[in-house]
Chains A and B, each alone.
Chain A
Amino acid sequence: DAMVIQNPRYQVTQFGKPVTLSCSQTLNHNVMYWYQQKSSQAPKLLFHYYDKDFNNEADTPDNFQSRRPNTSFCFLDIRSPGLGDAAMYLCATSRDSSLRNTEAFFGQGTRLTVV
């Protein structure tokens, strides 16, 4: 059974039109991550939550926002998508931030296309 679920799997949005990607987890993990991955590149961490504590990466554009209303759900909002935001968006979870519980489990990703 899928434990980290991302919806939708594929999203096409218009240039400048706000879009929301969603992630849910059944693992009851404390930490949830959002990564952006472009072709042949490393997954790039955008931000992560430890419980409700939001941690933004310094180089994440303001265009990207996130919400975590409860333990199970996390959302990625792109306020004004540009062509450069087309990528695979990966949601991941881990149990907590302690040394030996940090392996991350990924959802299947959302492939975002901007037209």
Chain B
Amino acid sequence: QKEVEQNSGPLSVPEGAIASLNCTYSDRGSQSFFWYRQYSGKSPELIMFIYSNGDKEDGRFTAQLNKASQYVSLLIRDSQPSDSATYLCAVNRGLYSGGYNKLIFGAGTRLAVHP
């Protein structure tokens, strides 16, 4: 089982719709969770992070975390063609699960927003 799993997509949504991206993780000791956006040939850029169960909103983006289900998601409202990219979920183990802290990535979900 991979540590961080995402559907590879592509997820295709019309402009203006809500895009929903999902991620599951295997290490129950994981404490912090990140969403990165990566355009083709570019490096990942941080969109937002979440530590606590529930929702966290930042502009058009909402991250949702459910630690009991080991599930984190990203909602993008009013999707724009410029949102078309690969979205990477990343997980960092906290101090309480042992081992070294490190940031582990999923393979990403490719999002295509069409006009």
Report A's interface with B, CB cutoff 8 A. Answer: 33, 35, 40-45, 48, 50, 55, 88, 90, 92, 94, 97-100, 102-109, 111
Contacts and interface: CB of A to CB of B under 8 A. Distances in A.
B51 A100 contact: yes
B43 A109 contact: yes
Interface in B56-115: 88, 90, 92, 94-95, 100-108
28 contacts: A33-B102, A40-B8, A41-B107, A42-B4, A42-B88, A42-B108, A43-B88, A44-B105, A45-B102, A45-B103, A50-B101, A90-B43, A90-B44, A92-B103, A99-B32, A99-B51, A99-B95, A100-B32, A102-B32, A102-B101, A103-B49, A104-B46, A104-B90, A105-B46, A106-B44, A106-B45, A108-B43, A109-B42
Given A42-B105, A102-B92, A105-B46, 5 more contacts: A43-B88, A50-B100, A99-B95, A103-B34, A106-B43
